[in-house]
Structure formats: C-alpha cells, structure tokens
Amino acid sequence: MLLRLIVGLLFVAMFSFAAAAKETTATIIYDDVTTEVNRAADAGGQLWITTADLKRATRFEVKPQGVCRDELCFPLTKGRKEEFLRHESGASWFNLTAFAQLVQQPVAHDEALATWYFGLRADQRQGLASLRAPDFTLPDMAGTMHSLSDFRGKKVFLVTWASW
Amino acid sequence: MPGWQAIYQQLKDKNFEIISVAQDTNGVKDAGKWITDAHPTYTALIDEKHLVSKLYNMVNVPTGVWIDEKGRIVRPNEVAFVDDRFKNYTGMDSAPYLGALKDWAEKGDKSVYVMSEAKLRDKLAVNDPDILLAAAEFGLGEQLYKSGHLQEAIPHFKEAQRLNPKSWNYKRQAYALSDAKRDYGTTFVDEVQKSGGSKVYYARPDLPAEVSPPEKKQ
C-alpha cells in the first residue's frame, strides 16, 4: 500500500512540469516551419507547450478522437492521456516531445538556444517503402512554387545538385 | 546545369521532365548564378532545407531518381553526372547512366533499366533511427546557422555527421558554411582520402551489366 502510494507520488512528480520547470520561451521548427512560443516548459528534456501554441506551431489540435490535423489523427490511449495533456496555470498544456515519440518523429534540441527541431513523422516516411515518390513543393528562382505531383502522367528525372 | 538543358532538349518530347533541386542552405544566394547561367527550360528548384535529400534519404550530390507516370520510383538514388568534368577525379564515365536515362525516356516501363520492385524495396528501406535523428540534427544546425548562430550550429552538424557517416551532404554543406579545418578539424579532401580515395567516393550506378554499352575495341 505504502509502496503504491510512493509510486503514485513519483508518477505525479514526473509529469507535474510546473514543479520541475518554470515557464520560458522556445523556438519550435515543425515541418521546417519556425514558430516562436512565449509559454513553454522544458521538464527533464520534455517540451510542454500550450494547446493554443500546438495549433500555431504544428497545426495539430487536440480533439476527442485524438491529436488531429486535417484527415490525419493520432489517438491517445485513455490510460496514457496524462503523459500528453495537463491543465495547469490557467492553460491546457501538451507534451510535444512525448507526442513525437508516439508518432516516431526524431527530435533534435539545442538547450542553450531553447530550439527544438521535429523531423519527419513515420506517416511522412511511408512513401519510400511503398515505392511512391514522396511529394514536395519548392520554389523556383522567381519564387513560383512547384510540386512533384504537378508532373503526374509524365516521366520525371529528379536530380539534386549543390553549389558547394 | 547546361548539360541537363541539352539532355532535356533531346528528350522533352518523350513525355519526360527534368526537375533539378539545389541543396543549398543559402538558397538563391549560392545556387542562383548557376541556374541563371544555364537558362534552363526544365524545372529548376531551390531547396534551402535539403527537403528532397531528407525525403529520399540522399547522401550526396548529384543524385538522380527516376519517377514514372504514376508517381512511382523506378530507379532510386544514384550518382548522376551530366558530363565527364569530374571523370579524372571519380574515375567514373557519365555515359552509361545517361544512356540508361535516355533508354527509359524512350521506352518507359519497358526499359531494362527500370528496377524490379524487390530490388527497389531493398535499396529504399531505411528505418534506422540514427539516420532519422541525423536528419533532425542537421535541420536544427541549419536553422541555428540561419538565425546567426554558426558556433551553436556546429555541434549539431557534427552530431548529424556522426549519426549518419555515409552522408556526404552533411559534411560538404557544413564545411561550406565555415572553415572546415578550424571547425571540424578536417577537410573534404581528407575525408575523401579516409573513405578510400576519390575513385570510390561515389558508389557506381547499379546498371545491369549485360546491357552496358560495349567496350570499344582498341
């Protein structure tokens, strides 16, 4: 019984970021888009942001069916909701690094500059295994955007190069 | 780049397109003049974030991929030289690959250079967590460099190089953004030597031997 209580308290301490980390700012790079957030908490290498900033930085939203963006939805198992969501200091907080782990997304972090880079999620990497050429949209010299998918119906020779 | 324009002129009527993508962190600033000078009529894109290398797991430039009319990869990442400018250095003749490319432009899926699905899967399967994390470290390094923090970027570029030692992109781009000797204790030339020399630095295109152009008799 006592042991269970101690384990329980430890569990609360682990996920209670407010006790472990004070609010700070952070730079988040998600899908190669940079967003500055004014309210962030780095608790033991875990990045918590408000659900409002979650939407701003990643376009993902917490919905009853899971964490969703357009058609894409990642359900959160009931027993694990605490790992991702907290309500503290008058805001809803979301653990973006725990979510990254859930969706098998690599994360790189620079502590000194409070900058977090989120790489490709598993769903974004499936193209190669299926032999579908991953789509991309990039600008030409004039700034006009072109997507690989614009060329469907033609044979495409894709070639990279660099000035270096 | 003028080389690709000549090939495009030859093949563009065969339902064939070229998309070139510059893997330059400084974008137009570094890649622009090459494109302007070549006057390409094919699609020449700028990729400051090395997105295409990331999506396709490319490790060097130039790298070519063939994509068919249905949007499927039919030949994956291979070195794609447009001429023999670097032949003395790499020991590699550009003709076999360019010949294969022309064959595919003409014959499409019937070309012998279209790879089998099994072979494609074998070549494309990458789910190594180290390689995925390397891409994130490199992306972070680029972002820090671009926001004026080169010194802070260097450890992340080094970490990317350590996690994915096969990527020459991570080395070459990082070296180009600073003084390689000072910041990385090495140079591109030294790294090529370490890898076994310039003749093995690029992996040869994996073309079927029986259909390679016949050797000229002396």
Among A107, A153, A160, the residue with its CB nearest the CB of B58 is A160
Long-range Cβ pairs for the range A12-19 (8 Å, 24+) = A14/A44, A15/A82, A15/A83, A15/A86, A16/A86, A16/A88, A17/A41, A17/A43, A17/A46, A17/A48, A17/A86, A17/A88, A17/A93, A18/A88, A18/A89
Give this prediction's pTM: 0.84
CB contact under 8 A, B159 and A131: no
Helix H or strand E encompassing B78: strand B73-79
pLDDT at B121: 85
Task: Give this complex's ipTM.
Answer: 0.88
Q: What is the pLDDT of residue B35?
A: 95
What letters, b where the CB count within 10 A reaches 16 and e where it falls short, cover A74-97?
bebeeeeeebbbbeeeebebbbbb
Q: How far apart are CA A17 and CA B70, in angstroms?
A: 49
User: Residue A41's pLDDT is what?
Assistant: 92
How far off is chain B from A119, nearest CA to CA, in Å?
Answer: 5
For B:190-209, CB contacts with A below 8 A are none
pLDDT band at A15 (very low <50, low <70, confident <90, very high): low
Indicate the pLDDT class of residue A4, thresholds 50, 70 and 90: low
Q: Are A164 and B23 in contact (CB under 8 A)?
A: no
Better pLDDT: B161 or A90: B161
* pLDDT at A14 exceeding the cut of 90: no
In this predicted structure, the answer to whether residue A79 has a pLDDT above a threshold of 90 is no
B214 pLDDT above the threshold of 80? no
Per the prediction, chain B carries an average pLDDT of 92
Span A85-113, mean pLDDT?
95
Closest to B76 (Cα-Cα) out of B85, B68, B88:
B68
Q: Which of B69, B136, B156 sits opposite A154 (nearest CB)?
A: B69
Cβ separation A157–B136 shorter than 8 A: no
Residues 142-171 of B with CB under 8 A from A: 143-144, 149, 152, 156, 159, 169
How is residue A78 annotated by DSSP?
Answer: G
Choose between B69 and A5: higher pLDDT.
Answer: B69
Q: For an interface test with A, which of B55, B69, B187 has the most A Cβ atoms less than 10 Å from its Cβ?
A: B55
Q: What is the pLDDT of residue B218?
A: 45
Residue B67 clears pLDDT 70, i.e. is over it: yes
List pLDDT tens digits, range B14-60: 999 999 999 999 999 999 999 999 999 999 999 999 999 999 999 99
Please state, for a pLDDT cut of 90, what percent of chain B lies above it. Answer: 87
List b or e across B180-198, with b for residues whose CB sees 16 or more CB atoms inside 10 angstroms. beebbeeebeebbeeeeeb
Banded pLDDT at A146 (limits 50, 70, 90): very high
Distance from A111 to chain B by nearest Cα, in Å?
10
